[in-house]
Structure 1
């Protein structure tokens, strides 16, 4: 009897130690919080898309369509500031810039454009911009109505620019849109109209096209017609171009 009890106790003890308690199931945070991709072997690496740098503005981007009123304030204001003449041979010409009030153009930007044109090596001479004192020429951005009045007795018809007295009068309509014969190159046309009207202030008269396909002289009336010539905005186009940024056209 005693042996039977001992045998039963031994068998019971052996059965209890043969199997350990089962481990608790994984918590939800160890499974469902993982994205499915984390459970798969990684695939082949793909190149990361590179963000392209923003394109620099081009001269064409600067010339957006502008609506110019036929009549503005009828009064000029001198654009304040000074700018030195480019170094080089020739007598320095003092000039100032005026803008009629009420036009959709920034006076400082217009003055800077005029100064770049006048001091390009292909231009007439070194020009120094001032805002007071004696000057040889005034470059005046004007509405079509103001241009018509300032250009009398010449008839500009609200379209053309002119020179009269000491003032080179730039029609804002032309400054905004150019002319068809320049085929959309507004920057070149602006160089032309400044060079042409200031050329009158230096004593240069009109001339014609020297022959079909040749560059038009800057004193040809290119705003009306090229006469068979090619557009040319410079008095001395064969001189080396200005290599400053934004001026190599």
Structure 2
């Protein structure tokens, strides 16, 4: 095919332009600023506000543990918390006990065991000398349990999925209550935890339920305070009661 000189020049010129454009297309370039609102602009990373479970709360002058929502059921098997804690010095009989936590619950077993021992050995407590051990023989087992396991372990008592109990040598602590407390204690989860340990272990020591003596009085620890205060004020201790604002 014949090509005229003018056509050849045009073709050559077009090839040169194409080559230049191709070089421009593949040359690394600096990113260009894009107008705000353009789809190419990424929104700045947003750091979420701390959730309720992450905030450090202070209620009644006490630093509160985080609220934790426990699952309705977990593995159904307990794990004994290893190690132990000595009985405090002083009068009173020694009570050997162990702590166990159902596998699969979102709680640290060692932290739970430490909270239990601090409550049982508090001067406002029952007065026995509690010694935590990792194996029997023991008088009491304190068992953190999912609501489903608590319901099973508490039979023939009917605790549903929301209550704790004393049954068959165990203070069965409902993990949902341990994680979120009870309306009777308001936002004071730390104090409610002391109450539920004191109350259920109190059953293990032979104490039965009692009633509110008069409106406005501190509730005896063996009142079923998780259900209601019955006109009393919340109180987690067998002795030396203290006012708690809800």
* Same fold, TM-score > 0.5, yes or no: yes
Give 1:66's aligned residue: 68
Matched, 1:138 2:178: no
Give TM-score, length-normalised by structure 1: 0.71
SS of the counterpart of 1:71? coil
Aligned residues of 2:235 and 2:241 also touching (Cα < 8 A): no
Question: Whole-Å Cα distance in 2 between the matches of residues 215 and 58 of structure 1?
Answer: 22
Give 1:233's aligned residue: 236
SS of the counterpart of 1:154? coil
- How large is the RMSD of aligned CA atoms in angstroms? 1.7
Give TM-score, length-normalised by structure 2: 0.72
Question: Whole-Å Cα distance in 2 between the matches of residues 106 and 62 of structure 1?
Answer: 16
Question: Whole-Å Cα distance in 1 between the matches of residues 226 and 241 of structure 2?
Answer: 22
Aligned residues of 2:76 and 2:103 also touching (Cα < 8 A): yes
Question: Whole-Å Cα distance in 1 between the matches of residues 116 and 94 of structure 2?
Answer: 15
> Offset at 1:62?
4.7
**Structure with greater Cα Rg:** 1
Runs of 5+ in structure 1 lacking a partner? Answer: 1-55, 240-249
Question: Whole-Å Cα distance in 2 between the matches of residues 62 and 187 of structure 1?
Answer: 6
Count of residues paired in the alignment:
184
2:114 corresponds to which of 74, 94, 112: 112
Question: Whole-Å Cα distance in 2 between the matches of residues 238 and 208 of structure 1?
Answer: 16
Question: Whole-Å Cα distance in 1 between the matches of residues 69 and 57 of structure 2?
Answer: 22
Give 2:172's aligned residue: 169
Runs of 5+ in structure 2 lacking a partner? Answer: 1-55
Q: How does 1:88-237 map to 2 (within 5 A)?
A: 88-124=90-126, 125-237=128-240
Q: 1:185 to 1:57 in 2, by over 3 A?
A: closer
SS of the counterpart of 1:99? strand
Aligned residues of 2:64 and 2:189 also touching (Cα < 8 A): no
Q: How does 1:22-101 map to 2 (within 5 A)?
A: 62-101=64-103
Q: 1:197 to 1:82 in 2, by over 3 A?
A: same
SS of the counterpart of 2:201? helix
